[in-house]
Amino acid sequence: MAKYKTKGLDCWNRAKELRAKYYKDYKEAHDRGALRWEGGAWSFDAIPQALEGEVHGLTEEPYGASIGANPELQVRYQEAAEGKWGCARDLCAYLRNYWGSIVLNEFAYGGEWPKADFIFQNHICCSHAKWLQVAAEIEGGNIPFFCFDVGAGAYDKIGERQINYVVEQLYDGIDFLEKVTKRKIDDEKLIQNVKNTYDSACYWAKACELNQAIPAPLDEKTMFSLYVLGTLEKSHKDIAHFYKDELYPEVKDRVANKIAAVADEQCRVLGDSQPPWGFLRIFRYLEKYGIVSIASLYTFSLIGWWTIDKAGKLVPYPTLEEQGITIKDRDHALRLLAEGELKGKLMWVPFYGAKYKNDIITKIAKQWKCDASIIHLNRGCEGTAQHQMEMKIAVQNLGLPVMTFEGNMADEREFDEGRTTRFIDLFVTETLGLKKVAD
Amino acid sequence: MIFAGIDVGGKNVHIVITKDGTILAKVEGPTGINKAEAAEKLYEEALKKAGLKRGDISRVVATGSSGSRVAFADGVIPDAAADARGVIKLIPSARTIIDVGAEEGRAIKIGPEGRVLDFAINERCAAGTGTFVDTMSRALEVSVEEMAKLSLQSTRSIPMNAQCAVFGESEVVSLIHQKTPKHDIARAVHDAIAGRVSSVARIVGLEKDVVMIGGVAKNTGFTESLKRDIGMDVNVPDDPEFVSALGAATAAATGVLEEKVEAKVVEKEMIEEGKS
């Protein structure tokens, strides 16, 4: 007899539809006279998407992750990036998938590589700084490229000066966009896009906050497929609507009715970093022991915006409505966008030191009532792998057992599934002292 | 009652048969390519040595990186769990276990009852494993046993790279060309591996008593280097390479049948997907 009732998400298929439409739109954009741009999941898509007419973007990390989920494809793409382009194997695995796809002139969603009209990117980690610049070279070298820096400081250091630093670059970005596309930025669209960005980022955080409930309404494996929409185009109205009006109310309903993600939840786990995408079944393996991975800095804040309240608790960043803000004009929109990203995106804290990461992780472990932590030491992403061992110590200092396993988010050659399940068996049966609850 | 523990490692299979906690027989042999066959053959040998038949064994538990390949085992336990059970049986005061085998170097923190509290493993690198020692002994053109003895003669510390077996070997060759005495090179190799292993051990925290097991524990040159590196005494039980198998036999005495089913399922899925 299961401990809790469970069921799939009603909005699951809608999430899948939105994702499929995104890639289809990008692929077919030129057939409809629309513009195509390449960028990152953190590229402030509200801005290029505010260009007049139809515009579609392709964000690099989710594309690299999609390939990572397909072992046959990713090995071929990575070997192309390494063998044909001479890319070092220890570079970001998403980046290698992405470059390999261009080298082979093959789009993972069918057809030839859909070359972009321009690139709108931001610097955050070492790979992001150069990723699309090199991609543009592989694509022939004639793609206009703009990159802005968001390394202005951790969330608690953000003031007017830091916001100005980014906003001034965003104005440069607008000049660039208008010059290379010969289209104008539509301020009404920009304002709406910024509102949508707030809704996507804040309502995703609100949905994650609901996972504090016991039983957890969402498990990380499912959450991976939900947050991804925000990494594609969080400024899009359909995606904002999905988070605000579909996912969030449904998760609330699951909490009210005690609908669990895992029927036999008996151990709540804190994760870290991207998972090995081709091997998400390890999460299902954990479920046989009643273990549900419910939280991580990565899953919560890759797109979600958060803040620390007066009591020192981690809470979702307030929406514009909650702040009583009506966006007045372009400048106001750009400032709010920069402020939300710089103050709310806690996923960037590892770049500013272990102290920051450990502080947030400790809050998550306590508030989400985690019983243990399983950390993927991710060789595929230097950025999210920062301070992972410091995190282990911080979590252990809370009295929680921690297991680590090495792997790679998108290079199956660096993940040993048999060994990982051996580690899980050891950790679960010996350290946690749990027995299987289901076959 | 009589129980058997089988440790199928990357290089060798170790089997221990116990009766009421006393060891009746222990055998060792190469794992080879066909691990299941090697385990089967050595099990027959162990039974013969103990003067027993298969039916005399109440329960068989396997462990090691290929423990799940032992078709006739009644249960499988993770290798670090076997280490913990074996060590706590031999040295009840043990709190930190360092197990260096052919393909893996691991550190395990255990509680007073032998429960695994934390563990760390060098996952994807030959540095800090028995394979690294073998490679360096070949470069020095001496056996591992000779290298251990040579190492103890040295009073000189030479830093060398142990981050990679390939680069480590290059450094050994360079030292040979510089006419560095073999005993100093042998110590440099052991110091380098000890540094690597102790860094893994420090992840779980070094707490007395520290016990070292696994094939490399027989290398006194290495254990001396490890003691110097961690600044603590290191206990090595008799026949340290059999401790994991002993732990599996101990687990057999307490029963772990449930885990066997799980291990089988995983292995079947991996084989179906071409990842065996």
Q: What pLDDT, in 10s, does the model give residues A76-133? A: 999 999 998 888 888 999 999 999 999 999 999 999 999 999 999 998 887 877 899 9
Residue of B63, B250, B266, B270 to mutate when probing chain A, most A C-beta within 10 A: B266
Cα A205 from Cα A216, distance rounded (Å): 15
B198 CB within 8 Å of a chain A CB: no
CB count in 10 Å sphere of residue A30: 14
* Structural domain boundaries in chain B: 2-88+242-272, 93-236
3-state helix, strand, coil in chain A (%, to 5): 55, 15, 35
Q: What pLDDT, in 10s, does the model give residues A366-419? A: 999 999 999 999 999 988 999 999 999 999 999 999 999 999 999 988 899 988
The total number of structural domains that make up chain A: 1
Q: Nearest-CA distance from B112 to chain A in Å?
A: 13
Q: What does the pLDDT read at residue A73?
A: 92
Cα B7 from Cα B242, distance rounded (Å): 8
B272 CB within 8 Å of a chain A CB: no
Between B78, B124, B203, which is nearest A426 by CB? B78
Q: What is the largest CA-CA distance in chain B?
A: 61
Between A392, A418, A430, which is nearest B116 by CB? A430
Q: What does the pLDDT read at residue B133?
A: 83
Q: What does the pLDDT read at residue B162?
A: 61
B2-88+242-272 CATH pick, 3.50.50.60, 3.50.40.10, 3.30.420.40, 3.40.190.80:
3.30.420.40
Q: What does the pLDDT read at residue B102?
A: 78
0.90 exceeded by the pTM?
no
- Residue A143 gets which letter from DSSP? S
Q: What does the pLDDT read at residue A28?
A: 97
The vertex-A156 CA angle with A152 and A160, nearest 5°, equals 55
For residue A281, being part of any structural domain is answered with: yes
> Is A435 close to B258, i.e. CB distance below 8 A?
yes
For residue A439, being part of any structural domain is answered with: no
Q: Do B2-88+242-272 and B93-236 agree at the fold level?
A: yes
> Is B121 close to A433, i.e. CB distance below 8 A?
no
Contact list, B120 vs chain A (CB under 8 Å):
404
B10 CB within 8 Å of a chain A CB: no
Q: What is the pLDDT along chain B (276 residues), one digit of tens a residue?
A: 999 999 999 889 999 999 998 999 999 999 999 999 999 999 999 999 999 999 999 999 999 988 989 999 999 999 999 999 999 999 999 999 999 987 788 999 999 989 999 999 876 666 677 888 888 888 888 998 899 999 999 999 998 876 677 777 888 888 888 999 999 999 999 998 898 899 899 999 999 999 999 988 999 999 999 999 999 999 999 999 999 999 999 999 987 544 443 444 344 444 344 333
For residue A228, being part of any structural domain is answered with: yes
Between B78, B203, B267, which is nearest A425 by CB? B78
Q: Count residue pairs from A and B with Cβ separation < 8 A.
A: 64
Between A405, A418, A431, which is nearest B116 by CB? A431
Cα A181 from Cα A186, distance rounded (Å): 13
Q: What does the pLDDT read at residue A435?
A: 87
Q: What pLDDT, in 10s, does the model give residues A123-172? A: 888 787 789 999 999 988 889 999 999 999 999 999 999 999 999 999 99
In this prediction, what percent of chain A has a pLDDT beyond 90? Answer: 90
In this prediction, what percent of chain A has a pLDDT beyond 70? Answer: 100
Higher per-residue confidence, B121 vs A320: A320
Q: Nearest-CA distance from B227 to chain A in Å?
A: 25
Decide: residue A310, CB within 10 A, 0-12 exposed, 13-18 middle, 19+ buried.
Answer: exposed
Q: Nearest-CA distance from A74 to chain B in Å?
A: 16
> Which DSSP string do the residues of A355-414 spell out, in sequence order?
HHHHHHHHHHHHHTT--EEEEEEETT-TTTTTTHHHHHHHHHTTT--EEEEEE-SS-GGG
Cα A139 from Cα B3, distance rounded (Å): 65
For residue A343, being part of any structural domain is answered with: yes
Mean pLDDT, rounded, for A267-273:
97
Query: Which pLDDT band holds residue A437 (cuts at 50, 70, 90)?
Result: confident
Q: Do residues A269 and A370 lie in contact, with contact meaning Cβ atoms separated by under 8 Å?
A: yes
User: Which domain range does residue A269 map to?
Assistant: 5-431
B93-236 CATH pick, 3.40.50.12780, 3.20.20.70, 3.30.420.40, 3.40.50.300:
3.30.420.40
Q: Do residues B121 and B10 lie in contact, with contact meaning Cβ atoms separated by under 8 Å?
A: no
Contact list, A282 vs chain B (CB under 8 Å):
none
